[in-house]
Amino acid sequence: MSPLITAADLADALGGVTVLDVRWRLGGPPGPAEYALGHIPGAVYCDLDTVLAAPAGKGGRHPLPSAAAFEASMRSLGVSDGRPVVVYDDWNALAAARAWWCLRYFGHRDVRVLDGGLKAWTGDLSKDTPDVVPGDFTARPGGMPLITADQAAILADDGVLLDARARERYRGEVEPVDPVAGHIPGAVNAPTTENLEPGGRFHRPEFLRERFNTLGVVEGVPVGAYCGSGVTAAHEVLALESAGMTASLYAGSWSEWITDPARPVERS
């Protein structure tokens, strides 16, 4: 099953799926305010900072939430194990991909991202906050491959480690968010913007396979992805899965990597 769903298919499925609005972006505008102005009917707001991440610290700017915290949050949003989930945002699927990855990692088997995001939705929007029936989701970590900083360093040598950030951040020319610029030595730059068509939808699987093949992602070679804080890297994992490829996520990403001054930094 594709990890993506079209707006037309979602419209047909409304009422039989749990829809999460994951609008969030670095620097705003605030997601809850955007949700209140209008959302896909029946959608429940899911906050990235408080639901899809633990408090910032040595684990980076967006560490993964604990299984217990994630389970409680998902149940409060109406997520159940046996009911499909669709997630969307208005930020090129960057936040939605994080929700998709977290749900998959914690064991939900039927999660898809609205391809093209809210912009692709042609139906009516609602300002009503739905009454949520608590779900029965049970968090079972391990549904998606996850790697540590040490494993990411090994992967950069023995496989392919994709850096999902913009090229200028990868090269260390600018760093608008984290206190240290650069990238993990040996990592290959693969900006998430190149996963998408100009209209905001994901490229076809064949296109994505060719793109990642040129970056060294071929059968038999282990691959992982990281970014600044583990959010946009989930977009890379999503694009790879859409292309029929499996990748590990370094969730702590660059913001965790640089908390240890002994870890090397490359700029080029």
Query: Contact, 139 vs 74, CB < 8 A?
Result: yes
Rounded to whole angstroms, how far apart are CA atoms 144 and 105? Answer: 4
Rounded to whole angstroms, how far apart are CA atoms 267 and 132? Answer: 48
Amino acid at position 126, single letter:
S
- CA torsion angle for 26, 167, 117, 73 (degrees, to 10)? -50
Structure token digits, residue 248 = 């590990």
Rounded to whole angstroms, how far apart are CA atoms 19 and 96? Answer: 11
Rounded to whole angstroms, how far apart are CA atoms 191 and 164? Answer: 5
Residue of 99, 227, 234, 251 with catalytic role:
227
- Does the active-site annotation cover 102? no
Give me the active site residues, please: 227
